[in-house]
Amino acid sequence: MSTDLILHNIGKYIALDTEEKEYFVSLLQEKSVKRKEFLLEDGHICKYSAFTVSGVLRGYTIDNNGFEHVLSFAPEGWWMADMYSLISQKPGTLNIEAIEKTELLLLSKANQEILFGKVPKFERFFRIITENSLVSYQQRLMDNLSLTAEDRYNNFCKRYPTLINSLPKKDIATYIGVTPEFLSRMQSKMLKRK
């Protein structure tokens, strides 16, 4: 599996020499997940951060009434984990499923700690991508509290421009917190206005 994308992704934030790159790559595991196959199910402990090389993952929880709520998507070049479970090593609440055939590179929590010990600048890389992720969640939370469904939809389109035409409508709907029927009616209205 090509490691060009993950090394390019890291190279945006920290400079690695050839030896450091090779060492980092030696800590990764390759994983292929079929369409609708689970990488992680709720109630289990998350042992890996997953980086999407191709395809797309969907992370979601199921509430007491059986409704799904999408926390995040991980298209090509994005990371995904149940952060609560990964940090605490307690059972999590996130289901991580492949929406289509997905190729992943996995970094185990154990290997991540070894990596931090050997190449401390990876602390910087993970600090920066965690900060970026935090900003996104803060923004999404404020959007959910203060914006209309239409504005939330527009923000979704900005955040995941490559996904808007490829994702099942029901997943986009649960991400922005509306029913699929409401989303369809809204999209029709928006199209008519253009």
Which residues of this chain interact with a copy of itself, rule CB under 8 A?
A: 61, 63, 67, 69, 71, 83-84, 87, 93, 116, 120-121, 123-124, 126-127, 130-135, 137-142, 144-147, 174, 177
Please report how close the Cβ of residue 132 comes to a copy of itself at its closest, in angstroms.
7
Nearer to a copy of itself, 97 or 103 (CB): 97
CB-wise, 53 or 176, nearer to a copy of itself?
A: 176
Q: How far is the CB of 160 from a copy of itself (least distance, A)?
A: 16
> DSSP assignment of the chain, as one string?
---HHHHHHHHTTS---HHHHHHHHHTEEEEEE-TT-EEE-TTSPP-EEEEEEESEEEEEEE-TTS-EEEEEEEETT-EE--HHHHHH-S--S-EEEESS-EEEEEEEHHHHHHHHHH-THHHHHHHHHHHHHHHHHHHHHHHHHHS-HHHHHHHHHHH-TTTTTTS-HHHHHHHHTS-HHHHHHHHHHHHHH-
Q: Which is nearer to a copy of itself, 108 or 133 (CB)?
A: 133
* Nearer to a copy of itself among residue 83 and residue 106 (C-beta): 83
**In whole angstroms, how close is the CB of 119 to a copy of itself at the nearest point?**
11
Q: Minimal distance in Å, beta carbon 30 to a copy of itself?
A: 25
